[in-house]
Amino acid sequence: MALHRLLAMEMGVPDPGTLDQFYAELGFRGGPRRWGGVDAEDQILLCEAPYRQLKSLRIACHDEADLAAAATGLEALGVSSRQSNGTLTVVDPINEWTVTLEPQAEFVPTPLERRLMNYPGQRNRVNTRASVITEAEARKPRRLGHVVLGSPEPQKTTALFQALGFRVSDMVAGGVATFMRCSPDHHNLLVAPGSVPYLNHYAIEQEDFDSVFKAATTYLGAHGNERQVAGPGRHQIGGNVFWYMLDPAGNIFEFFTDMDQIIDDAAWTPEDWRTPDAWSVWGNKTQPEVFFAPDDMQAIVAGWHAAHP
């Protein structure tokens, strides 16, 4: 696979300072305006913008041959790109997101200190208390894992990311929404319909089930249930455990863990999901309406049209 990692996203919001506080509170490192989890620095970059929006994505590839292949693929779509300083940059003509491919070394995750779990017939933790009880502080978020983007032209947008080297993992309703990967993660990107381009949500990987639940309940305990969006649950598409909440800028963000991993493209068969209950294996099985119509969608639509009279 030409691509191997989602490096970063840049997000514009009216008041980036509120998000600086938020990422510090979640246990991210870095700042201000540049935040990363345990596994990667500078994964979430912030800037000021009149309404909340995705500005750019940075993706890691292996070498210059990947840049050349992407340039050729984009050209076939009639989209021009620019190569400079060993990177390739394209401004998506529909959504105006800037996407940069850059050759980088492969990602080696920091080894995880596994929490031992007991199962029937397999006792892994005996004569000791569970580490989730005894550890001094909550484990920190690992990394930005994926973004979900709304586009008025989802199929053309999907084609653009495929030209860049993204692989399709699964789709919904014949390609109305498409899950794509630029790493072994089942998805680093989902492109879905939107009346104007917008950031639907972004997802932060936590170490395990306990870390997702601990981080989510701590956050909701501090800020109130009005920040709750959906979860906990386990997606059928991607297999990840999830919990969705609102950040102080009005973005939906997700804590997730245990996502399907695809290391052999030939071994994975993308499916076209058409079942209404694919949202979760357990709990609420249908996707809440707020994902299709975020509370601030009117402000985003107005902001987009004000910038495109």
Q: Which residues bind Fe ion (CB under 5 A)?
A: 203, 254
Q: Are 88 and 81 in contact (CB under 8 A)?
A: yes
Query: Distance between alpha carbon 141 and the CA centroid of its chain, in Å?
Result: 13
Rounded to a whole number of angstroms, the minimum distance from the CB of residue 148 to Fe ion is 6
Question: Judging by beta carbons within 10 Å of its beta carbon (0-12, 13-18, 19+), is residue 132 exposed, middle or buried?
Answer: middle
66 or 254: whose CB is closer to Fe ion? 254
d(CA 157, CA 170): 15
73 or 193: whose CB is closer to Fe ion? 193
92 or 254: whose CB is closer to Fe ion? 254
Q: In what order do the strands lie in the sheet with 177-181?
A: 228-234, 241-246, 252-257, 198-205, 143-151, 189-193, 177-181, 167-172, 272-273
Rounded to a whole number of angstroms, the minimum distance from the CB of residue 203 to Fe ion is 4
Rounded to a whole number of angstroms, the minimum distance from the CB of residue 229 to Fe ion is 11
89 or 287: whose CB is closer to Fe ion? 287
Rounded to a whole number of angstroms, the minimum distance from the CB of residue 254 to Fe ion is 5
Rounded to a whole number of angstroms, the minimum distance from the CB of residue 147 to Fe ion is 8
26 or 203: whose CB is closer to Fe ion? 203
Helix (H) or strand (E) holding 241: strand 241-246
229 or 302: whose CB is closer to Fe ion? 229
Q: Are 273 and 162 in contact (CB under 8 A)?
A: no
Name the DSSP letter for residue 174. Answer: T
Question: Judging by beta carbons within 10 Å of its beta carbon (0-12, 13-18, 19+), is residue 198 exposed, middle or buried?
Answer: buried
97 or 202: whose CB is closer to Fe ion? 202
Q: Mapping DSSP to helix (H, G, I), strand (E, B) and coil, where does residue 108 land?
A: coil
CB-based contacts of 201, cutoff 8 Å, min separation 6: 147, 148, 244, 251, 252, 253, 254, 291
| Residue nearest to Fe ion according to CB distances in the complex | 203
Helix (H) or strand (E) holding 31: none
